[in-house]
């Protein structure tokens, strides 16, 4: 390129950037634009400025399956969650809310950006060359809030790259960017424990599953903790309690210095619990005895036991990988796990209740938008697995989603059954804050649904996976079929076995070979094919899917090499 051409191009770029930044008075829209990064013009948005922006509290828990909270699940009736259920009673519960990827990092990347994520696995297990963190030029929704005048604060887990959290929450934040909590290496937490006169934790009873020889100890799922000297470990010294206290101290500090009178607050409280490894403190002994009278193993675990835990004909290989990884061969160990999972969630609820009570005492609760979510669900023993993975199943793609609106919005206690997604979180919160980001989002604002108590209608929601314990670049779709029921269809790139699940089943089994569901299978394959073909982000999935399911898709003629022809 010659010097004249170079100067012409750079001058044009400079002028266009200046106009974008609002330097052209003839463009009223551009002159009202604001940016998350004023110097570079990144993250453009419009802020209405009409009325007082509400304080916002987002509470996320990690790996909350429907057994713990969903009214349709029998076990949930025995789980004591008074704080979370109070939010349900004062707000709107979306009973068919879903994540996009049932893994920590990808799900968080997705709901923070409001877009289906290119991050498809957790960083701890990722092969070299695959994205494991958000890129520097991604914008997460708290950045818009910060640029619009919100005081943005965060406490707890990050797991999408700490740099983005520093952009959104400031240099004083201390996000921990890994799947497991820093129980033994968070200096501030250890100092807090010492101030209580409490020694670090150790397991009094530990749930340890077995390797494939069914004898050698394998993965630990944690359990019940005591102090190093064997004394009872109090709730106040547990890590989630510490995070709750940090959140309260943040609010109290901002209230005391008058900041909350001048600026709205966005606080993000990200718990690790009830994710395993569990750390159940003292004080839950009676609850454990009560739960032992109730909790049993799931039907699908017993079915796996009857075939000696061999892979069933209608299961993809990836599920067998996870079953062998966890090694849950002893029914009593699984019952212990399921009890511990409930108790750990009840620990979280007590801490949420403590935070909500302090908000009431500070007269902040009524005027605050409070949201409770989880990043993904949990298998909880079904198919002889726990945790989650790179496969699709109703219990790991379904998530809790509750919005308690501020008092300026008439409170319509409602349960909405039409589909919602964690993709909607960013748009909904920005809507309440009066912010319209000039960017592409895959979600929608749920604020109108909160105002009316009615759903937004049926939607096409996609699911993806990549790498974790195994590798399976799966993709799937949820949809209400012509028979009136809602289904999850999953295509597993590493298996000949597809899966079709009734999303309303308690212990769902694969319906893909059911003659009764042949029409449903065909409908969802075509819907997934159309979705993959319509978006260039999914070309990698579409390239394989159209070959593997050629006879179930509308036939398309032409070169399948994706050769680009001039238009």
In a domain, 154, yes or no: no
pLDDT at position 15, please? 35
* Same domain assignment for residues 455 and 475: no
Residues with Cβ within 8 Å of residue 143, at least 6 apart in sequence: 36, 43, 167, 168
Q: Are residues 378 and 481 in the same domain?
A: no
3-state SS class at 399 = strand
Least confident of 21-30, 118-127, 156-165, 218-227: 21-30
Among 461, 488, 508, the domain-final residue is 461
E strands in 361-440? 368-374, 398-399, 401-404, 414-416, 420-421, 435-437
Q: Are residues 477 and 425 in the same domain?
A: no
pLDDT value at position 560? 80
Q: Are residues 443 and 544 in the same domain?
A: no
The answer to whether residue 257 is domain-embedded is yes
Q: Contact at 8 Å (CB) between 487 and 528?
A: no
- Please tell me the predicted confidence (pLDDT) of residue 275: 98
Give the pLDDT of residue 24. Answer: 41
Q: Which of these three, 461, 484, 503, is where a domain ends?
A: 461
411, 433, 461 - which closes a domain: 461
Average pLDDT over residues 333-358: 98
Q: Looking at residue 364, what is its pLDDT?
A: 98
Paired tokens of 371: 């949201």
- If you write DSSP's letter for every residue of 180-217 in order, what string do you get? S--TTT-HHHHHHHHHTT-PPEEEEEEEEEE-TTSSSE
Pick 195 or 8 by higher pLDDT: 195
Closest Cα to residue 514, out of 472, 475, 481, 554?
481
Q: Is the same domain home to 238 and 300? A: yes
- The residue that leads in pLDDT, 205 or 162, is 205
Are residues 442 and 405 located together in one domain of the fold?
A: yes
Question: Does 390 have pLDDT greater than 80?
Answer: yes
Q: How far is Cα 75 from Cα 67, in angstroms, rounded to an integer?
A: 6
pLDDT of 135:
93
- The helix (run of H) or strand (run of E) holding residue 222 is strand 217-227
What does the alpha-carbon distance between residue 526 and residue 504 come to, in Å, rounded to a whole number? 22
Q: What is the pTM of this model?
A: 0.93
pLDDT band at 30 (very low <50, low <70, confident <90, very high): low
Between the CA of residue 382 and those of 75, 508, 518, what are the distances in Å?
14, 9, 25
Mark whether 139 and 241 lie in a shared domain.
yes
Confidence tier at 239 by pLDDT (50, 70, 90):
very high
310-333: average pLDDT: 97
CB atoms inside a 10 Å sphere around CB 106: 30
Lowest-pLDDT range of 21-25, 162-166, 524-528: 21-25
* pLDDT band at 54; cut points 50, 70, 90: very high
Q: How confident is the model at residue 567 (pLDDT cuts 50, 70, 90)?
A: low
Write b or e for each residue in 399-420: b if 16 or more Cβ atoms lie within 10 A of its Cβ, otherwise e: bbbbbbbbeebebeebebebbb
The torsion defined by the Cα of 60, 272, 174 and 350, in degrees rounded to 10, comes to 70
Task: Give 157-178 as a 3 state SS string.
Answer: ECCCCHHHHHHHHCCCCCCECC
The values of phi and psi at residue 201, to 5°, are -85, 155
What per-residue confidence (pLDDT) applies to 9?
46
The three-class DSSP label of residue 465 is coil
Identify whether the C-beta of residue 173 lies closer than 8 Å to the C-beta of residue 153.
Answer: yes
Distance in angstroms (rounded) separating the CA atoms of residues 473 and 273 = 27
- Is the domain of 382 the same as that of 292? yes
φ and ψ at residue 60, rounded to 5 degrees: -120, 135
What CA–CA distance (Å, rounded) separates 295 from 239? 26
pLDDT above 70 covers what percent of the chain?
A: 93
Q: What is the mean pLDDT of residues 241-264?
A: 97
Count of Cβ atoms closer than 10 Å to residue 548 Cβ: 14
CA distance 517 to 525: 12
Residues listed for the chain: 567
Is residue 150 in some structural domain?
Answer: no
Residue 186 to residue 191: CA distance in whole angstroms? 9
Q: Is 214 left (phi over 0), alpha (psi -120 to 50) or beta?
A: left
Q: Is residue 33 part of a domain?
A: no
Taking 60 as the threshold, does the pLDDT of residue 169 lie above it? yes
Domain for residue 167, yes or no? yes
Q: What is the pLDDT of residue 564?
A: 72
Provide the CATH number for the domain around residue 194. Answer: 3.40.720.10
Is pLDDT of 429 > 60?
yes
pLDDT digits (tens, 9 = 90+) for 120-137: 888 888 888 888 899 999
pLDDT confidence band for 51 (50 / 70 / 90): confident
CA 268 – CA 363 distance, rounded (Å)? 19
Tell me, yes or no, whether 437 and 488 share the same domain: no
Residue 29 has what pLDDT?
57
**Tokens standing for 277?**
């490894």
Does a structural domain hold residue 22? Answer: no
For 54-81, what is the mean pLDDT? 97
- Res 149 pLDDT > 70: yes
Q: Say if residue 437 is in the same domain as residue 475.
A: no
- Are both 226 and 349 inside the same structural domain? yes
User: How far lies 129's CA from each of 113, 119, 126, 132, 133, in Å?
Assistant: 22, 12, 8, 9, 12
Percent pLDDT > 90 in the chain is 83
**pLDDT of amino acid 18:** 40
Whole-number Cα distances in Å, 23 to 10, 30, 182: 17, 8, 48
pLDDT at 457: 85
- The Cβ of residue 26 has, within 10 Å, a number of other Cβ atoms equal to 7
Give per-residue pLDDT as tens, 533-563: 999 999 999 999 999 999 999 977 777 887 7
pLDDT level of residue 19 (50, 70, 90 thresholds): very low
With respect to residue 547, please indicate whether it lies within any of the assigned structural domains: yes
The pLDDT value given to residue 8: 45
Q: Say how many Å lie between the first and final Cα of the chain, rounded.
A: 27
pLDDT tens digits, one per residue of 268-284: 999 999 999 999 999 99
Has residue 24 been placed in a domain? Answer: no
Q: Which domain holds residue 312?
A: 55-145+161-264+274-461
Cβ-Cβ contacts under 8 Å for 276 (sequence gap 6 or more): 63, 221, 222, 337, 340, 341, 386, 387
Residue 31 is predicted with a pLDDT of 62
Examine the domain organization and report whether 376 and 233 are in the same domain: yes
Number of domains in the chain: 2
Residue 123 Cα distances to 8, 110, 185, 340, angstroms: 43, 15, 19, 27
Whole-number pLDDT of residue 171: 82
Type and span of the H or E element at 246 = helix 239-256
User: What pLDDT shows up at residue 565?
Assistant: 66
Q: Which residues are CB-contacts of 421 (< 8 A; sequence separation ≥ 6)?
A: 97, 98, 99, 100, 443, 459, 461
Mean of pLDDT over the chain:
92
């Amino acid at each position: 390129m010659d010097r004249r051409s170079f100067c012409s191009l750079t001058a044009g770029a400079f002028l266009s950037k200046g106009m974008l930044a609002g330097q052209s008075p003839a463009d009223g829209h551009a002159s009202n634009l604001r940016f998350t990064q004023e110097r570079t013009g990144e993250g453009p948005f419009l802020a209405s400025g009409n009325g007082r922006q509400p304080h916002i509290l987002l509470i996320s828990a990690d790996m909350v399956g429907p057994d713990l909270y969903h009214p349709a699940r029998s076990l949930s009736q025995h789980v004591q969650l008074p704080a979370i259920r109070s939010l349900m009673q004062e707000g709107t519960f979306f009973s068919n809310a879903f994540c996009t990827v049932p893994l920590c990092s990808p799900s968080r990347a997705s709901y923070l950006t409001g877009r289906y994520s290119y991050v498809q696995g957790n960083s701890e297990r990722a092969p070299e060359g695959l994205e494991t963190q958000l890129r520097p030029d991604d914008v997460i929704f708290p950045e818009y809030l910060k640029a619009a005048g919100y005081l943005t604060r965060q406490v707890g887990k990050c797991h999408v790259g700490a740099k983005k959290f520093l952009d959104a929450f400031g240099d004083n934040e201390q996000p921990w960017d890994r799947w497991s909590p820093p129980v033994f290496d968070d200096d501030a937490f250890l100092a807090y424990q010492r101030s209580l006169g409490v020694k670090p934790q150790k397991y009094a009873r530990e749930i340890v599953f077995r390797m494939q020889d069914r004898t050698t100890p394998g993965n630990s799922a944690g359990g019940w903790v005591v102090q190093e000297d064997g004394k009872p470990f109090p709730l106040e010294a547990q890590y989630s309690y510490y995070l709750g206290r940090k959140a309260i101290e943040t609010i109290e500090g901002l209230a005391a210095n008058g900041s909350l009178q001048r600026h709205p607050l966005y606080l993000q409280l990200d718990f690790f619990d009830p994710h395993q490894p569990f750390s159940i403190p003292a004080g839950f002994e009676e609850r454990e005895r009560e739960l032992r009278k109730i909790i049993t193993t799931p039907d699908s675990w017993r079915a796996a036991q009857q075939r000696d835990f061999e892979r069933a004909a209608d299961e993809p290989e990836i599920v067998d990988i996870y079953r062998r990884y966890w090694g849950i061969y002893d029914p009593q160990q699984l019952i212990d796990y399921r009890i511990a999972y409930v108790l750990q969630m009840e620990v979280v609820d007590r801490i949420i209740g403590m935070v909500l009570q302090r908000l009431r005492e500070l007269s902040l609760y009524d005027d605050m938008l409070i949201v409770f979510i989880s990043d993904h669900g949990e298998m909880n023993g079904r198919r002889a697995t726990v945790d989650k993975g790179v496969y699709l199943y109703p219990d790991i793609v379904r998530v809790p989603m509750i919005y308690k609106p501020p008092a300026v919005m008439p409170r319509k206690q409602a349960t909405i059954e039409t589909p919602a997604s964690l993709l909607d979180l960013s748009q909904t919160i920005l809507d309440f804050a009066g912010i319209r980001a000039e960017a592409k989002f895959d979600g929608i604002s749920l604020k109108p649904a909160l105002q009316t108590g009615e759903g937004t209608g049926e939607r096409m929601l996609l699911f993806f996976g990549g790498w974790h314990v195994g590798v399976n670049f799966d993709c799937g779709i949820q949809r209400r079929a012509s028979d009136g029921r809602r289904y999850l269809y999953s295509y597993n790139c590493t298996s000949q076995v597809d899966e079709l699940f009734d999303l309303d089943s308690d212990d769902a089994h694969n319906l893909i070979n059911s003659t009764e569901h042949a029409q449903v299978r065909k409908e969802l394959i075509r819907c997934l094919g159309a979705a993959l073909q319509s978006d260039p982000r999914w070309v990698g999935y579409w390239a394989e899917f159209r070959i593997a399911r050629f006879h179930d898709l509308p036939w398309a003629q032409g070169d399948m090499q994706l050769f680009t022809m001039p238009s």
